[in-house]
């Protein structure tokens, strides 16, 4: 089976899993939003920020190194497994010990116990990292899709029940822990290499993984710096409003990009010695990624006033503006993630690190300035920083795969124009719709926007229908 067919098969199963989990995630999230208050989400945002940043250090890029390595011996696997266990347990203990310091910094005593419980995720990562990496290396995405659905559904139900029974922020934390626990149990059913606690066989993986870790750490610090700064300058209520707006805006990105990166990284690693083929596949993926993501994100931005009022409720009214603004720039963030995956997949860590350094300078500074204007200021910071970073890093990224900017523009112009037509149609439709309740207006605007986008896309790009049919046929095959 060719790499392209493997990638399409992987895309099929991963997409099915993400689609099913997306339905559950959205359903649970929208119900839980009405059961909890913004301050609960503010506390959880701070806990997640701390755990997410340190998790990138604990793994040390060793999972990615296993996927990218051309050859793997039993000794290498044992050494990497032992190193992953030691690193994760060490970081987990460290997090539990410094939890009171974080609580003092944010002037919130409840954070101590929340962070200490959340540190259990490092124990689970110690056991699941290597089995998961080996499944990715083998492109065994059908099985991984089953794992994904099982974990999302079970943890979603648990979170909903806990929130319903008044557990507040603990519903979010315990639901997250349960999700990781179930994933770990299922991954371990495939077996785990016997850990070897020695340095032999680690050097190559530590070199590659160390560079990956630097990139990931910079990325996590940069993209979590908004919560780090907001947690110090704003109230928990404001952080909750902002974090939920950001979560809803980035939820499609998280699901779509988790599919793309899981499939793209091993596929790019296999195609790294065929530059022409890699370039062609990258441009195809860019075009299709924007074709499917722009209507979701720009569409959500366009109907945000009605969406927040009907689905989230009046207590979240202040989330409208940040949701609108962040949704507009998330497509550029998705392209950043995809192109970083490509540069890492071909082994060009210098370009990846250089791009991350640029992000590390621009985003925290912009977030710090924006936070002085509250939640809306933070949202505007995204609108300034993300486009700047994307266009600054783009030439370097394209050089890695020997691609011209004109080729990229040709991929993007049709979905961007169709998305703009969709947005204009929704805005015009809102101004002309005087009658009917908010729910009816929301439904009409969604239908109007979907129709405008589909019509514009089919008119501007006659290739899109044959391309989609080709992908569907390949997936069925």
User: Which DSSP string corresponds to 50-95?
Assistant: HHHHHHHHHHTTHHHHHHH-S---HHHHHHHHHHHHHHHHHHHHHH
The domain boundary, picked from 233, 261, 291, lies at: 233
Domain shared by 360 and 472, yes or no: yes
Separation of alpha carbons 180 and 347, rounded Å:
29
> Residues 6 or more apart from 112 whose CB is under 8 A from it?
99, 100, 102, 103
373 DSSP 8-state letter: T
**112 falls within a domain:** yes
61/159 same-domain check:
yes
Instruction: Say if CB 411 and CB 418 are below 8 A apart.
Output: no
CA 262 – CA 446 distance, rounded (Å): 31
Give the whole-angstrom CA distance, residue 141 versus residue 210.
Answer: 26
- Measured in residues, the chain has a length of 477
Residues 135 and 282 in one domain: no
Q: Which two structure tokens, joined as six digits, stand for 402?
A: 């020997």
Q: Cβ(231)–Cβ(106) under 8 Å? A: yes
Q: Is 238 within a domain? A: no
Query: pLDDT in tens for each of the 477 residues of the chain?
Result: 555 455 555 555 565 666 666 677 777 877 887 788 788 888 888 898 888 888 877 776 666 666 666 666 667 677 777 878 888 888 899 999 999 998 898 888 899 999 999 999 999 888 888 787 777 776 666 777 777 778 888 888 888 899 999 888 899 999 989 988 988 888 888 777 777 766 665 666 666 666 667 767 777 777 778 888 887 788 878 888 888 888 777 776 666 665 565 555 555 555 556 677 777 777 777 887 888 889 989 999 999 998 888 878 777 888 889 999 999 999 998 888 888 777 776 666 677 777 778 888 888 899 999 988 888 998 999 999 999 988 888 888 888 777 888 888 888 888 999 999 999 999 999 888 766 677 888 889 999 999 999 999 888 887 777 766 765 665 555
Residues 349, 430 share a domain: yes
Q: Are residues 321 and 205 located together in one domain of the fold? A: no
321 & 454 share domain:
yes
Structure tokens at 414: 């049709």
The reply to whether 329 and 470 lie within a common domain is: yes
Are 220 and 289 in the same domain? Answer: no
Q: Which domain holds residue 378?
A: 245-477
CA-to-CA distance for 224 and 48, rounded, in angstroms?
9
**Token pair of 61, please?**
């890029």
Total number of domains in the chain: 2
Q: Are residues 208 and 104 in the same domain?
A: yes
Same domain, 116 and 263: no
In angstroms, the Cα distances linking 381 to 76, 117, 287 are 44, 32, 27
Rounded CA gap, 161 and 155, in Å? 10
CA distances (Å), origin 385, targets 72, 318, 323, 379: 40, 22, 16, 10
- Sequence-distant (6+) residues with CB within 8 A of 110 are 43, 103, 169
- Please indicate, yes or no, whether residues 208 and 280 belong to a single structural domain of this protein: no
Sign of CA dihedral 234, 236, 242, 247: positive
Look at residue 34 and tell me if it is in a domain.
yes
- DSSP conformation letters of 204-270: HHHHHHHHHHHHHHHHHHHHHHHHHHHHHHS-HHHHHHHHHHHHHHHHHHHHHHHHHHHHHHHHHHH
């Amino acid at each position: 089976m060719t790499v392209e067919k493997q990638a399409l098969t992987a895309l099929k199963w991963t997409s099915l899993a993400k689609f099913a989990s997306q339905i559950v995630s959205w359903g649970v999230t929208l119900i839980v939003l009405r059961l909890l208050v913004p301050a609960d989400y503010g506390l959880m945002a701070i806990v997640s920020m701390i755990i997410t940043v340190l998790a990138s250090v604990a793994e040390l890029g060793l999972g990615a190194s296993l996927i990218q390595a051309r050859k793997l011996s039993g000794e290498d696997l044992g050494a990497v497994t032992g190193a992953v266990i030691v690193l994760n347990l060490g970081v987990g203990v460290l997090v539990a010990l410094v939890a009171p310091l974080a609580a003092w910094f944010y002037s919130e005593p409840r954070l101590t116990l929340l962070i200490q419980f959340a540190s259990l995720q490092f124990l689970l990562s110690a056991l699941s990292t290597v089995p998961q990496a080996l499944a990715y290396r083998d492109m065994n995405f059908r099985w991984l899709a089953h794992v994904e659905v099982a974990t999302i559904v079970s943890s979603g139900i648990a979170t909903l029940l806990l929130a319903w029974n008044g557990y507040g922020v603990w519903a979010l934390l315990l639901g997250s822990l349960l999700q990781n626990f179930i994933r770990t149990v299922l991954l371990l059913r495939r077996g785990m290499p016997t850990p070897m606690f020695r340095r032999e066989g680690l050097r190559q993986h530590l070199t590659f993984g160390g560079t990956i870790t630097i990139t990931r750490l910079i990325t996590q610090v940069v993209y979590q710096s908004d919560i780090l700064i907001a947690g110090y300058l704003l109230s928990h209520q404001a952080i909750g409003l902002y974090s939920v707006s950001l979560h809803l805006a980035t939820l499609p990105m998280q699901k779509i990009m988790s599919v793309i990166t899981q499939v793209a990284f091993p596929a790019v690693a296999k195609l790294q010695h065929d530059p022409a083929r890699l370039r062609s596949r990258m441009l195809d993926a860019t075009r299709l990624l924007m074709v499917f993501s722009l209507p979701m994100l720009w569409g959500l931005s366009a109907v945000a006033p009605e969406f927040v009022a009907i689905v989230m409720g009046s207590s979240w009214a202040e989330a409208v503006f940040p949701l609108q603004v962040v949704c507009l720039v998330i497509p550029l963030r998705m392209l950043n993630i995809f192109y970083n995956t490509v540069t890492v997949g071909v082994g060009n860590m210098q370009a990846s690190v250089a791009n991350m350094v640029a992000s590390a300078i621009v985003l925290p500074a912009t977030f710090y300035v924006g936070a002085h204007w509250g939640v809306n200021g933070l949202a505007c910071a995204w609108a300034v920083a993300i486009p700047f970073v994307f266009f600054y890093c783009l030439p370097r990224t394209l050089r890695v795969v020997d691609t011209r900017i004109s080729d990229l523009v040709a991929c993007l112009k049709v979905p961007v124009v169709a998305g703009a037509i969709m947005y204009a149609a929704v805005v015009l439709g809102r101004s002309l719709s005087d009658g009917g309740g908010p729910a009816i207006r929301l439904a009409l605007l969604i239908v109007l926007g979907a129709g405008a986008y589909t019509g514009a896309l089919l008119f501007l790009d006659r290739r899109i229908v044959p391309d989609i049919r080709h992908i569907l046929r390949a997936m069925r095959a």
